[in-house]
Amino acid sequence: MLIKESYVDVATSANGKDGSMRIYVFHPSIPGYPNAKFPGVCLFSEIYQVTGPVTRFARQIAGQGYIVTAPSSYHDFTGPEALAYDVPGTDKGNAWKVEKTLESYDEDSRRTVDHLLTLPTCTGLIGSTGMCLGGHLAVRAAVRPLPPSSRMSSVPTRTR
């Protein structure tokens, strides 16, 4: 399966603060079938944002025929770039994950699902997955009254 990678910046307004969030998109592509439709998956990342390993995981899922969207969770504090896998990056990610409000996390989830639903190639069936912090966010996304309708968490942290 061929995969087209892109991103979109969407407006956010949680906690009375206007901003934007980058959503990375990994879209399967079948040559000769430009209107092929695929289900979607919201992939929520670990505390380092969308890193190399998260990107590889997204590509693996997209390679199985799913449109994958991966939001940059810390847009309230920094740009969309991944944090380094080092002590300063870990400290920032751990601080921001608790400083960010649930309202903002939930808005990120809504915006990510909404983006999938605007794609003419999305079937409307949407799942969620994530690792570490993202596992927790995937569960939160799945219990909302709107999609995702299925979920899988890889080592979710602090899910109670």
Each residue's pLDDT tens digit, 60-80:
999 999 999 999 999 999 999
The CATH number of the domain holding residue 78 is 3.40.50.1820
Alpha-carbon span 51 to 115, nearest angstrom: 21
- Is the pLDDT score of 138 beyond 60? yes
More confident residue, 149 or 120: 120
The pLDDT value recorded for residue 63 is 98
Q: Which pair of structure tokens corresponds to residue 82?
A: 């991944």
> What pLDDT score does 147 carry?
56
Q: How confident is the model at residue 85 (pLDDT cuts 50, 70, 90)?
A: very high
Banded model confidence at residue 12, pLDDT cuts 50, 70, 90: very high
What residue type is assigned to position 126 of the chain? Answer: I
- pLDDT exceeds 80 at position 4: yes
Q: Is the pLDDT of residue 150 over 80?
A: no
Q: Which carries the bigger pLDDT value, residue 152 or residue 51?
A: 51
What pLDDT sits at residue 146?
A: 58
Number of domain units in the chain:
1
> Which range has the worst mean pLDDT, 82-86, 119-123, 125-129?
125-129
Domain range for 68 = 2-156
The strands making up 150-156's β-sheet, listed across from edge to edge, are 2-12, 19-29, 67-71, 38-44, 122-132, 150-156
Q: Where are the beta strands (DSSP E) in the chain?
A: 2-12, 19-29, 38-44, 67-71, 122-132, 150-156
Q: Check whether 149 has a pLDDT greater than 60.
A: no
